[in-house]
Structure 1
Amino acid sequence: MSSSTSTRTLPRALRPFGSGQYRLLAAGLMLALFSDGVWTITLVWQVIGLGGGPGQVSLATGLAAVGMVVSTLAGGVLADRVSQRSIIIGLEVVKMAVFAAVAICAITGVLSMPILAVAAMLGGVTTGMYYPAYSALLPGIVAADQLQAANGIEGILRPVLFQAAGPMIAGAVIAVTAPAQAALVAAVASVGAALCYLAMRPVPLRRDPDTLRGPAIRSIITDLAEGFGYMWRTPWLWSTLFFATILVLATMGPIEVLIPFALRERVHGGAGDHSLVLAAFGAGAAIGSFVFASIRMPRRYLTLMFGLWGWSSIPLVLMGVAGHTWVFIVAGFVMGLLFDGPMVLWGTLLQRRVPPALLGRVASLDFFVSVVLMPVSMALAAPVADVIGLTTTFVVCGLVPVPFAAAFYLAARLWRDETAHPLRDTENQPAIAVVHDEMSASAYSWRADR
């Protein structure tokens, strides 16, 4: 039986695993997400182990966020200029070195807050640069009709490994030993991820080499300008990114900051109830990703995406008026389902309609928008709630994104765009064969990565 025939016999959500290249990429992704999940908890408890309080923990996690934000646009430029496979290998090597250094310093008794601050910043930088490289690499690994399934697999793995398994293992290791040993676990997982990526065959860089010539600084600035220019010329792109900024600003603060206080005030809940709500959000995200990984690209993909995202904040209204813990849990599940499910369509949309030579930069803009206002939202949530009250804050934040979703959908005329650019599945055709909005993929030559 040929590999293509055996792939078609797999369920749609699992078809990418018919490719050996993707199996290695997915294994590396799993280990990378697990490593990041372990490090997230390890960093907090290592700060506490050094005698740090909430201020020091906030500083460390804030530095990680800053590193992520400031590196993502540069990561997009790099992903369009250098082998994406080489980038993700290098990032895992850096993570391994950082995590191992923290562990060794802790074991030998020389670890200090400045060292942890640098480690936190470097960890954030690797996260910010990973997403553009991974997003630009994936279309060179799987066929166009399997991109949606591959993005769904990532959507399933992220909450399971990064938000659940990694922190759980880290907590268990720290409880038995110390944060230093958990940092070693993260370092070993990063080594495993790098080895998986090394085992992959070289993947061509989909860009005309002539565009990479000239003075380096001027060329990089031109690359950034070209990415922003493409966004402004592309209605489906700017409308989605602008709406995403509003959605993130309205929802992340209540989710990350206010839910524990709402639980305590309304149902006398504690940390256990909070963990159940977060687990329900993660479960909804995983199930939503699996559902969208299992279906064909909808004909009205932009309408469906905006429709679900437009309503994804409504569960916050339920949390604002909830009088029982189960209402918070159900609202968290629905929110995860509506928020992360369409992310599968969005990732596939980027990879199938953005020109290959621009994909890294556009993916970095997407990631930048997703994270840049997150700390702002979290910083504003508590002061706003103090002024207008918890219930009003949840209700307002749940309702505000809805009219904006409709406004951007209408302003960009997305119902016309999706009919003019259907994303029909074409069995076993490489993702780069899709003709893109602003320029044809045939304008870009392939060159093997070194």
Structure 2
Amino acid sequence: MSKSRSLYRSLAPLRHRDYRLFFISYLVSMLGDGVWLVALPWVAMELGGDSSELAMVVGAEAVGLVSCVLVGGALADRFPRKRVIGWSFVASFAVLAMLTAVHVIGDLKVWQLVGAAFVLGASAAISGPASDAFTPDLVPEESLHSANALESTVRSLTMRMVGPALGGVLISLLDSMSVIMLNAVSFGVAALCVAFIRPGVSAGSVSEEEAESAEPVPYRQALRYLFGERWLWVLIVWSGVVLLLQSGPRQVLLPFLISDRLGGDARDYGLFIAVTGVAAVVASVVLGARKPPKDYARWMLLAWTAGAAPLAVMVFVPSFWLLLPMAVMYGCFSTVGNVYWSTLIQTVPSAVRGRVISIDWLGSLALVPLSAVIAGVGSGRAFVVTLFVLGGTLPVLMTLATLRWVDLSALRPPGEAVKKAEEPAPEAPEPLVGARPAS
């Protein structure tokens, strides 16, 4: 009986028609993104591009993400979110279809690939905050936790495992440009699924008429709300600093650690990434099946910290195989923290939800390139050890300081005893600030 209850809880969001369509669109688009990660370098190489030109392509996508993410949040609060997501998928479909058409004509250049990558990054920046803000409009509040666990499962499977593997197989059977054409089809299917969503039909839905009739809240009001909620801006800063400390060592230095110090190769690094992906999937499935704890925010922060701490030990292990338990810890606990955070941030008032989420996205994205630059500055043993140790220990100290300075006990998972924040009245947006007691 308990197993059936767990399964019911984990799949509860799919009972709602609108969310089923949204979930299918999310699944298909994420799968296409996983394939794109593999196909993109091969297309650049087939066009005669070298490593610097490939870096330009990847960098253009990152620039598109960072430069447009705040615009995406503003659009998500100004227009119906279904429309924002749908048109961003259409834009991605159009640019990939044009890329394929130019390739068929036989005149595709690397600079065109750079432009397409920028548009895809911008499209993701616009659809991402809108998608995160749209989920609470499609499911009842008590199902938000399970919905985020489902989406985390899909993201881990498609982006870390199935998508790249499928992309590699398809490229071996077809040419890489054909695989990009399939990615275009995935965005077309996702756009169609979003088009069939009828907000206001499922429980928890907000109709398009309600979204369009609501008076938009000025950006300064959104910022006043954000900084009026101590828990919110402190945790956004916390996660941004942790990414600054951790992403460079993980993405830049860890492959060299595996190769130069532990005698590993690309297969070993791939195994490390795969293990983190499997741990993330398992954690997401278990989270979706379990009732969230009452001390939701505290557990979220502790989970994030548990996922970050092993970095301090990685640089001292004598064998590659001892890295794998740490990969499990990172994949598992970072996923738990991310699911909890996604659910918490979705409880902010709908009128500013898109902009708050976009600011969170910006805090996560903006410092990652800086972290990579810092990691690439030096390669000496002492420098590497220092970055790994600081990356694993400072988040622990930050967590202790946060728990003392911010009262997280008042924050509960959606659907529990604490009432969800009141939505600001359209005719009087000023009460938005302090709509929920600040922590």
Q: Same fold (TM over 0.5)?
A: yes
Q: What do residues 199-228 of structure 1 show as CA deviations (whole Å, max 9, x unaligned)?
A: 21145256584634xxxxxxxxx7332222
Residue of structure 1 equivalent to 2:435: none
Matches within 5 A, 1:17-96: 17-96=14-93
Evaluate the alpha carbon distance shift between residue 397 and residue 104 of structure 1 in structure 2; reply closer, same or farther with a 3 A threshold: same
Matches within 5 A, 1:256-295: 256-295=251-290
Residue type of the alignment partner of 1:92: F
Residue of structure 1 equivalent to 2:145: 148
Evaluate the alpha carbon distance shift between residue 426 and residue 83 of structure 1 in structure 2; reply closer, same or farther with a 3 A threshold: same
Residue of structure 1 equivalent to 2:95: 98
Q: In the alignment, which of 409, 420, 430 is matched to residue 435 of structure 1?
A: 420
Contact 1:297–1:425 under 8 Å retained in 2: no
Deviation at 1:366, TM superposition (A): 1.3
Measured in 1, the distance between the counterparts of 2:312 and 2:424 equals: 48
Q: In the alignment, which of 108, 111, 132 is matched to residue 114 of structure 1?
A: 111
Q: In the alignment, which of 292, 296, 300 is matched to residue 291 of structure 2?
A: 296
The runs of 5 or more residues in structure 1 that have no matched partner are 1-6, 213-221, 428-432, 446-450
Residue of structure 1 equivalent to 2:161: 164
Measured in 2, the distance between the counterparts of 1:148 and 1:232 equals: 25
Q: In the alignment, which of 163, 171, 176 is matched to residue 173 of structure 2?
A: 176
Decide which moves more: 181-190 or 279-288.
279-288
Contact 2:61–2:122 under 8 Å retained in 1: yes
Cα-Cα RMSD: 2.2
Matches within 5 A, 1:332-351: 332-351=327-346
Measured in 2, the distance between the counterparts of 1:311 and 1:9 equals: 25
Residue of structure 1 equivalent to 2:370: 376
Deviation at 1:243, TM superposition (A): 0.4
Evaluate the alpha carbon distance shift between residue 122 and residue 424 of structure 1 in structure 2; reply closer, same or farther with a 3 A threshold: closer
How many correspondences in the alignment? 417
Evaluate the alpha carbon distance shift between residue 100 and residue 392 of structure 1 in structure 2; reply closer, same or farther with a 3 A threshold: same
Residue of structure 2 equivalent to 1:201: 198
Q: What do residues 344-368 of structure 1 show as CA deviations (whole Å, max 9, x unaligned)?
A: 111111222x111111111111111
Contact 2:94–2:184 under 8 Å retained in 1: yes
Contact 1:266–1:322 under 8 Å retained in 2: no
Contact 1:145–1:426 under 8 Å retained in 2: yes
Tell me the percent identity.
29
Residue of structure 1 equivalent to 2:135: 138
Measured in 2, the distance between the counterparts of 1:116 and 1:74 equals: 23
- The alignment partner of 2:315 has SS state of helix
Measured in 1, the distance between the counterparts of 2:282 and 2:415 equals: 23
Question: Is 1:406 paired with 2:400?
Answer: yes
Structure 2 length-normalised TM: 0.90
Measured in 2, the distance between the counterparts of 1:229 and 1:45 equals: 46
Question: Is 1:226 paired with 2:221?
Answer: yes
Matches within 5 A, 1:383-394: 383-386=377-380, 388-394=382-388
Deviation at 1:292, TM superposition (A): 2.1
The runs of 5 or more residues in structure 2 that have no matched partner are 200-205, 428-439
Evaluate the alpha carbon distance shift between residue 10 and residue 159 of structure 1 in structure 2; reply closer, same or farther with a 3 A threshold: closer
Contact 1:144–1:426 under 8 Å retained in 2: no
Contact 1:239–1:409 under 8 Å retained in 2: no
Residue of structure 1 equivalent to 2:241: 246
Measured in 2, the distance between the counterparts of 1:105 and 1:232 equals: 48
Measured in 2, the distance between the counterparts of 1:386 and 1:209 equals: 60
Deviation at 1:263, TM superposition (A): 0.4
Residue of structure 2 equivalent to 1:219: none
